[in-house]
Structure 1
């Protein structure tokens, strides 16, 4: 199915925007916003502890070197680009993002960020979501200087956008320490409602900046990652507190997106049920060819869930057998399963439509 999607994409959705010799846009631009699940190297350019720039990160990347991706290889945006037959986006802070490479799009994501500005404060210097949106506005000025204002607006309007935030607002904020400031301020249901209301403002700003096709991922099953099993689970089962956060957050996110689409009068925002996508292989890892969904490939302590993945960590010999690469992040193979659902999944996974349907719809528009 993915190859058919790629053919449809290349044959019917390609654009040709010209503004003088040597400046051509082929295909659809792709923009990425969010946290470490989708960061492809922006934090390498920052003085922060939220980095994946040392081995064994990147061990299965084509260069076999760390790139700033929190993965053994490719992450979700990379695989979406691969499936669609388009060049992967560069980190916005990369000095290589110049000239025609700007026309491919850009990745603004930064490990550690959340919806709220106080999420990830322990990492100090990260690109908070408001700053990511400011960079998006700056990006558009750079593209306008390259191909002209109207064509820059068209490029953004016809682009595909992916945004992944929310999990850190629980893992690296509300539940970061016992009796955190946010936990003292809000009971969990009220905190979830607050995060959702702030997320709505983020998405409205993204729409005001021209985004018209936005895939919005929910949180995964937060209590099931190896880090939380190591710290909170007594019996190897998912940690109840963080699971409750996921149970509350994800349906409210879909409801909020439905409301935004109604206000706009168009299916701008597409909900990706990444919670269920993860739960599928967490609850039945063998069905997906994994030997475990509890133990991280790279780490130390119970479930390899303590601390960071470092050159001194335990490292599994076959990453394809593990659902989790490090204490928080999926392996490339797990990411591929997730992207397949984004492309072709039923409405249980993608609401109101999957990416393949979007591509066909847009090719007829």
Structure 2
């Protein structure tokens, strides 16, 4: 199709979303490590593919954004995984109920979807990486200047 600059986003830490924690538990940990291990395996393969594609297509640039790494807490402070709204058994918001008053303090709106605050952090670190592992080999701001 002629794209010359491509951003490939990895998967989020699915084992940390409220619906998956509710379905599978965490064995006393913050997140479900088994699910996150499978996600990491997938993300590692995607990162390898991005590296390979950059070698094959010299007229194009590919970069990988590590959503799983970006969504990890910085330091030892656990992140809140409780949904911002009251949820039904299928982890969707109960209709006609009020969400939490300050959505900026929640990562998840319902059992599946990130809040605007969470998306802003992800987008900001994808565009200008905070840590070297946030994006490979470039963040989006550097990719756009190539």
Equivalent of 1:335, from 99, 119, 131? 119
- DSSP-derived class of the 1:275 partner: helix
**CA 338–315 in structure 1, closer or farther in 2 if over 3 Å, else same:** same
Equivalent of 1:221, from 13, 22, 33? 13
Q: Which runs of 5+ in 2 are unaligned?
A: none
- Are 1:225 and 1:327, in contact at CA under 8 Å, matched by a contact in 2? yes
Q: Which has the larger radius of gyration?
A: 1
Equivalent positions of 1:56-67 (< 5 A) are none
| More helix, by proportion | 1
- DSSP-derived class of the 2:71 partner: helix
- Are 2:3 and 2:60, in contact at CA under 8 Å, matched by a contact in 1? no
* Residue number in structure 2 paired with 1:294: 81
- DSSP-derived class of the 1:260 partner: helix
* Residue number in structure 2 paired with 1:351: 136
- The offset of 1:356, in angstroms, is 1.6
* Residue number in structure 2 paired with 1:254: 47
**CA 229–312 in structure 1, closer or farther in 2 if over 3 Å, else same:** farther
- DSSP-derived class of the 1:223 partner: helix
The whole-number CA distance in structure 1 between the counterparts of 2:118 and 2:135 is 17
* Residue number in structure 1 paired with 2:34: 241
* Residue number in structure 2 paired with 1:169: none
C-alpha RMSD of the superposition: 2.4
**CA 313–251 in structure 1, closer or farther in 2 if over 3 Å, else same:** farther
Equivalent positions of 1:183-222 (< 5 A) are 209-222=1-14
Q: Which runs of 5+ in 1 are unaligned?
A: 1-208, 286-291
Normalised by the length of structure 2, the TM-score is: 0.85
Deviations 1:245-274 (A, max 9, x none): 112111111001111121112452210001
The runs of 4+ residues in structure 1 deviating greater than 6 Å are: none
Equivalent positions of 1:293-312 (< 5 A) are 293-300=80-87, 306-312=90-96
- DSSP-derived class of the 1:296 partner: coil
The whole-number CA distance in structure 1 between the counterparts of 2:86 and 2:37 is 26
- DSSP-derived class of the 2:37 partner: helix
- Are 1:297 and 1:314, in contact at CA under 8 Å, matched by a contact in 2? no
* Residue number in structure 2 paired with 1:7: none
- The offset of 1:236, in angstroms, is 5.4
Which structure has the higher relative contact order (CA within 8 Å, separation 6+)? 2
